[in-house]
């Protein structure tokens, strides 16, 4: 889960609640958009200079100063900003009550003046609003939705229930540096099918778990958030997919536990390839312990699929923008993710 200086989120106190909240209420059945089959995944329109981006706070609380910083970063991309009605609300450690945070998501998708939606930050809370989202409305107004960490819940649920491509990328309070912005522009503005590869292996090394190439639908996000969603109706199909995950501040044994959950739920046995991005501030924990690589090898090598650790995904300054639901080809020997199709439409 995402940790910011403005608030410390104690994930493990809430992770059980996340799973229970997702299971408690079933989302409404998906309705096809017009004459389109609900099995067809929709691509949102690409961004253009002058477009308006909606900012929402679907998880942890934010301050006015965060909004000003976000406006500055987004305006430098040539975009305008529209704020969610409840963006500065506070309800305990959440940015407003569940119904209000969900309302901001639904309203932004229905607002024809808004071309993309970016979450302000992660933290905790997105899974609580999943039963309150209007997935039919979202499918009839497909737009770019972007974020990471706790935003994983929204990205996966909307991809699964509304059948729309979503984007695992920077939140509005991220560091919008050159590499991050370059990938974002190429994918979201220029509608390019890019190849993602760590530019400086010495600074961000890639460690191969198992060699080879594989093709499949790119799916994933924050490991703890994903693990807490297992068993809910808000996850996409894993059949022959490429799973990417990332994490922050977890001991190795907890990572082992979450990967075991994905294994026993039958998810790992379905995937065609595996990428672990960055595990920021993850420690061996109590002694004796395994290394993270030993745990990854235990879980992944028996699957006989290409896999590696170290891709620029996660709680780091330089990060890729990953389109969830797009077909990609990965090469574990070189640590590359090659998009086989564009993620946005030219309309």
**Is 100 inside any structural domain?**
yes
Question: The sheet that has 273-280: what strands, in order across it?
Answer: 195-197, 336-339, 327-331, 213-222, 242-248, 273-280, 307-309, 207-210
Residues 6 or more apart whose Cβ sits within 8 Å of residue 48: 115, 189
Residues 133 and 249 in one domain: no
**Is residue 326 a contact partner of residue 343, using CB atoms and an 8 Å limit?**
yes
**Is 318 inside any structural domain?**
yes
Q: Indicate the residue among 144, 175, 206 that finishes a domain.
A: 175
Residue 30 DSSP SS3: coil
**Is 187 inside any structural domain?**
no
Residue 287: predicted pLDDT: 74
Residues 141 and 102 in one domain: yes
205 class by beta-carbon count within 10 Å (0-12 exposed, 13-18 middle, 19+ buried): exposed
- Measured distance CA(73)–CA(82) in Å, rounded: 14
Residues 164 and 209 in one domain: no
- Measured distance CA(34)–CA(140) in Å, rounded: 8
Residues in a beta bridge with 81: 53
Residues 45 and 161 in one domain: yes
Measure the CA angle with vertex 71, ends 311 and 312; round to 5°. Answer: 5
Residues 34 and 155 in one domain: yes
**Is 181 inside any structural domain?**
no
Residues 150 and 244 in one domain: no
Closest CA to 328 of 243, 221, 212, 209: 243
CATH number of the CATH domain containing 18: 3.40.50.10740
- Measured distance CA(271)–CA(303) in Å, rounded: 9
99 class by beta-carbon count within 10 Å (0-12 exposed, 13-18 middle, 19+ buried): exposed
Tell me which residues are annotated as active site.
Answer: 149, 246, 315
**Is 183 inside any structural domain?**
no
> Which of the residues in the chain have pLDDT under 50?
1-35
Q: How many domains does the chain have?
A: 2
Residue 15: predicted pLDDT: 42
Residues 163 and 250 in one domain: no
CATH number of the CATH domain containing 335: 3.50.30.60
**Is residue 163 a contact partner of residue 235, using CB atoms and an 8 Å limit?**
no
> Token pair of 256, please?
């082992």
- Measured distance CA(72)–CA(245) in Å, rounded: 29
Residues composing the chain: 347
**Is residue 220 a contact partner of residue 275, using CB atoms and an 8 Å limit?**
yes
Parent domain of 285: 195-339
Closest CA to 332 of 216, 211, 251: 211
- Measured distance CA(280)–CA(77) in Å, rounded: 28
- Measured distance CA(258)–CA(268) in Å, rounded: 11
Measure the CA angle with vertex 2, ends 299 and 233; round to 5°. Answer: 60
Residues 232 and 158 in one domain: no
**Is 345 inside any structural domain?**
no
Residues 136 and 206 in one domain: no
**Is 92 inside any structural domain?**
yes
Closest CA to 11 of 300, 250, 295, 306: 250
Residues 171 and 239 in one domain: no
Residue 262 DSSP SS3: helix
**Is 184 inside any structural domain?**
no
Residues 278 and 215 in one domain: yes
Residue 347: predicted pLDDT: 74
Residues 124 and 262 in one domain: no
């Amino acid at each position: 889960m995402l940790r910011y200086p403005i608030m410390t989120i104690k994930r493990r106190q809430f992770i059980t609640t996340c799973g229970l909240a997702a299971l408690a209420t079933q989302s409404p059945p998906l309705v096809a958009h017009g004459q389109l089959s609900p099995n067809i995944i929709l691509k949102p329109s690409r961004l253009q200079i002058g477009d308006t981006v909606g900012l929402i706070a679907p998880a942890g609380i934010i301050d006015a100063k965060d909004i000003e910083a976000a406006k500055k970063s987004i305006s430098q991309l040539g975009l305008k900003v529209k704020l969610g009605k409840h963006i500065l609300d506070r309800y305990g450690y959440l940015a407003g009550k569940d119904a209000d945070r969900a309302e901001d998501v639904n309203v932004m998708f229905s607002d024809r003046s808004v071309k993309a939606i970016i979450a302000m930050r992660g933290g905790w809370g997105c899974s609580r609003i999943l039963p309150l989202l209007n997935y039919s409305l979202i499918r009839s107004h497909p737009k770019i939705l972007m974020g990471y960490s706790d935003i994983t819940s929204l990205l996966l649920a909307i991809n699964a229930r509304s059948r729309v491509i979503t984007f695992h990328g920077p939140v509005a309070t991220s560091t919008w540096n050159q590499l991050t912005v370059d990938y974002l522009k190429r994918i979201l503005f220029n509608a390019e099918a890019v190849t993602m590869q760590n530019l400086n292996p010495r600074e961000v090394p890639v460690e191969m778990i198992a060699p080879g190439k594989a093709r499949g639908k790119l799916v994933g996000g924050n490991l703890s958030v994903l693990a807490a969603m297992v068993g809910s109706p808000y996850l996409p199909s894993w059949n022959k997919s490429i799973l990417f995950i990332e994490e922050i501040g977890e001991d190795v044994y907890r990572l082992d536990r979450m990967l075991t959950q994905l294994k026993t739920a039958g998810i790992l046995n379905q995937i065609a390839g595996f990428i672990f991005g960055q595990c920021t501030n993850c420690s061996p924990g109590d002694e004796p312990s395994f290394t993270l690589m030993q745990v990854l090898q235990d879980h992944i090598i028996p699957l006989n699929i290409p896999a590696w650790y170290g891709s620029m995904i996660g709680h780091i300054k330089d990060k890729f923008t990953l389109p969830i639901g797009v077909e990609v080809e990965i090469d574990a020997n070189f640590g590359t993710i090659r998009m086989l199709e564009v993620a946005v439409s030219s309309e």
